[in-house]
């Protein structure tokens, strides 16, 4: 990272991805972070891979519960088989968006398909959680899958943009958002500039390549939270793949513990007890295993 205070920058804060293990894969945990817990309604941001495993290995995230959020899965490479307690069975492939709204409670699993596992699977992608507004926290759980061809795409010299959620650049994604937000992927040629869409809170994440804002550079696997109201363009110093997230912050603080997000600590404690007592619904086709509760809820200040 390089900083030159003589040049104005739109970057307020940088957050480097922290390594975490997810089954056989390594992920980079970006949000929540000590310096920043949320960006708009986005409460969780994991960068999965890139990874290439030996034949026979794969991802096996056993059934586990969620409340109060929507999971958003987007792959660059590889394949994940999604199952949930609504009976959904959906392969996730590069370019498509999986949007699962937990609401009052849902259970799902994420596994490498058998045919991919036999070949030696690759995996590279992002999984985000969007905290639901208070009025939607206890909504009915729902699942939607949006194939590659349904995602709006725009291009200009040196820049290709896909609007994955919300509205930006005059187009709207088909994903079922519950509060104002935006999620955009961009490919930039070296020297190209990216104009971030306006939102109350925004952050960019560099997947590969490098961005510059004023005298500050943002390296790969780093999130740059942008200054509120600052509309400055970002320049790619090399061929760059990035995403932007943002939106309106929710009206109340959110508590995050394990796989649960809520405006109420008591609701998270209730969900933990229900999972421990196996009162959540099972996942059809994946009923034999689940991730057990190993701790009791503990809360830091949201």
Q: Is the pLDDT of residue 3 over 50?
A: no
21 pLDDT band (50/70/90 cuts)?
A: confident
pLDDT over 70 at 2, yes or no: no
Average pLDDT over residues 280-292: 97
Residue 103 pLDDT > 90, yes or no?
yes
Residues 6+ apart with CB under 8 A from 37: 31, 43, 254, 256, 302
- pLDDT score recorded for residue 42: 98
**Is 183:218 a contact under the CB 8 Å cutoff?**
no
Q: Report whether pLDDT(8) > 90.
A: no
**Mean of pLDDT over the chain:** 94
Residues 117-136 have a mean pLDDT of 96
Mean pLDDT of 119-140: 97
Diameter of the chain measured on Cα atoms? 60
The full DSSP string for 239-271 is SEEEEEEEEPPPSS--EEETTEEES-HHHHHHH
pLDDT in tens, 195-232: 999 899 999 999 999 999 999 999 999 999 999 877 68
Task: Say what the pLDDT of residue 20 is.
Answer: 92
Kindly tell me if the per-residue pLDDT of 4 is higher than 60.
Answer: no
Measured in whole angstroms, the distance separating CA 6 from the mean position of its chain's CA atoms is 34
Q: Which residues are annotated as a binding site?
A: 64, 66, 108, 110
Per-residue pLDDT of 43-100, as tens digits, reads: 999 999 999 999 999 999 999 999 999 999 999 999 999 999 999 999 999 999 999 9
pLDDT value of position 202: 97
- Give the dihedral sign, CA 87/56/120/205: positive
The pTM score is: 0.95
Q: How many residues does the chain have?
A: 302
Average pLDDT over residues 244-256: 96
Q: Round to whole Å and give the CA distance between 200 and 171.
A: 19
Q: Is residue 96 classed as helix, strand or coil in its secondary structure?
A: coil
The binding site for Fe cation comprises: 64, 66, 108, 110
pLDDT at 34 over 70: yes
Residue range 140-198, pLDDT digits in tens: 999 999 999 999 999 999 999 999 999 999 999 999 999 999 999 999 999 999 999 98
pLDDT of residue 6: 41
Q: Which residue has the higher pLDDT, 299 or 205?
A: 205
């Amino acid at each position: 990272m390089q900083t030159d205070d003589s040049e104005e920058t739109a970057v307020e804060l940088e957050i480097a991805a922290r390594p975490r293990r997810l089954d056989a894969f390594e992920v980079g945990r970006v949000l929540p972070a000590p310096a920043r817990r949320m960006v708009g309604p986005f409460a969780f941001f994991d960068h999965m891979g890139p990874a290439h495993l030996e034949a026979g290995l794969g991802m096996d995230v056993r059934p586990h519960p969620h409340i109060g959020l929507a999971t958003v899965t987007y792959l660059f490479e590889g394949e994940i088989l999604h199952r949930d307690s609504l009976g959904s069975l959906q392969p996730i492939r590069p370019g498509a968006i999986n949007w699962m709204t937990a609401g009052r409670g849902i259970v799902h699993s994420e596994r490498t398909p058998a045919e991919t596992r036999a070949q030696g699977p690759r995996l590279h992608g992002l999984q985000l959680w969007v905290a639901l507004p208070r009025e939607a926290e206890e909504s009915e759980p729902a699942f939607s899958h949006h194939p590659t061809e349904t995602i709006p795409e725009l291009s200009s010299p040196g820049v290709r943009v896909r609007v994955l959620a919300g509205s930006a650049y005059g187009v709207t994604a088909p994903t079922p958002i519950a509060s104002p937000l935006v999620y955009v992927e961009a490919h930039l040629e070296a020297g190209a500039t990216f104009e971030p869409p306006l939102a109350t809170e925004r952050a960019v994440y560099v997947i590969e390549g490098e961005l510059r804002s004023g005298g500050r550079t943002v390296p790969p696997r780093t999130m740059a939270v942008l200054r509120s109201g600052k509309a400055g363009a970002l320049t790619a110093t090399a061929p760059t793949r990035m995403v932007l997230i943002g939106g309106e912050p929710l009206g109340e603080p959110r508590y995050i513990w394990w796989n649960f997000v809520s405006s109420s600590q008591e609701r998270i404690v209730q969900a933990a007890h229900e999972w421990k007592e196996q009162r959540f619904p099972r996942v059809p086709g994946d009923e034999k295993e689940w991730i057990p509760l190993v701790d009791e809820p503990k809360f830091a200040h949201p």
